[in-house]
């Protein structure tokens, strides 16, 4: 009888252990399902915003076409509001007289940054002043408007804003002035040239 009691007790413990293990697994599975449901709800809730972001450029382009303005088929195909251009490609544009005259270069940095160093011929409209000044100072009929800042963040905001103001010809300079591959002008550039010139003049000439 004692041995039967021990066996029965052992079997009971095993059954209890299996039951507890099953309950724990069910709890874990239920928690996993709740997490997946939460993530799925988040994705569904974000879907209208993503659709709106994808459709908005097409709506803007359609409005421009209805006005009779020319819109790049590349922007329409890619669903983009403005072009992206590298520093080397932009420098090549401005180095050729045949294309440089068609490009309006817009600097959206501060006055101090502009005075220190800038792309030759660039016009300054700080990004915070763009809303008030773009209609009077930025020609919408320009073939290309090249927008840049120091690293690309402010100019990206400017391009996004201008694209929504019926400018179909905006080109964003990737990485800003940091990615520019052409010549620059400004106070710092002149200072560097003067220092280099003085060092060459002051260096003693060799006596052969």
pLDDT tens figures, 115-168? 999 999 999 999 999 999 999 999 888 889 999 999 999 999 999 999 999 898
Residue range 1-26: mean pLDDT, rounded: 66
Distance CA 2, CA 20 (A): 27
- Name, in order, each residue with C-beta under 8 angstroms of 130's C-beta and a sequence gap of 6 or more: 108, 158, 161, 162
pLDDT of residue 57: 77
Mean pLDDT, rounded, for 88-109: 90
For the domain covering 73-190, report its CATH number: 3.40.250.10
* pTM for the whole structure: 0.68
Partners of 147 in the β-ladder: 106, 172
pLDDT of residue 134: 95
Q: How many helices (H) and strands (E) does the chain have?
A: 8, 5
Structure tokens that stand for 100 in this block: 């440089």
Contacts of 4 (CB under 8 A, 6+ apart): none
Higher pLDDT, 137 or 51: 137
> How far is the C-alpha of 191 from the C-alpha of 193, rounded, in Å?
5
Phi, psi values for residue 176, rounded to 5°: 60, -150
Banded model confidence at residue 31, pLDDT cuts 50, 70, 90:
confident
Residue ranges covered by each domain of the chain: 73-190
């Amino acid at each position: 009888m004692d041995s039967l009691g021990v066996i029965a007790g052992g079997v009971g413990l095993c059954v209890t252990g299996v039951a507890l293990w099953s309950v724990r697994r069910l709890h874990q599975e239920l928690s996993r399902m709740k997490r997946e449901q939460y993530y799925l709800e988040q994705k569904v809730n974000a879907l209208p915003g993503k659709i709106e972001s994808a459709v908005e450029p097409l709506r803007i382009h359609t409005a421009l076409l209805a006005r009779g303005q020319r819109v790049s088929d590349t922007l329409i195909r890619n669903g983009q509001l403005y072009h992206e251009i590298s520093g080397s490609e932009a420098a090549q544009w401005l180095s050729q007289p045949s294309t440089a005259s068609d490009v309006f270069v817009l600097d959206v940095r501060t006055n101090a940054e502009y005075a220190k160093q800038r792309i030759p011929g660039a016009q300054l409209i700080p990004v915070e002043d763009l809303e008030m000044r773009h209609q009077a100072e930025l020609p919408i009929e320009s073939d290309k408007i090249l927008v840049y800042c120091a690293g690309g963040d402010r100019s990206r905001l400017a391009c996004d804003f201008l694209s929504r103001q019926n400018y179909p010809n905006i080109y964003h300079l990737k990485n800003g002035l940091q990615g520019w591959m052409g010549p620059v002008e400004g106070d710092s550039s002149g200072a560097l040239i003067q220092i280099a010139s003085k060092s060459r003049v002051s260096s003693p000439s060799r006596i052969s």
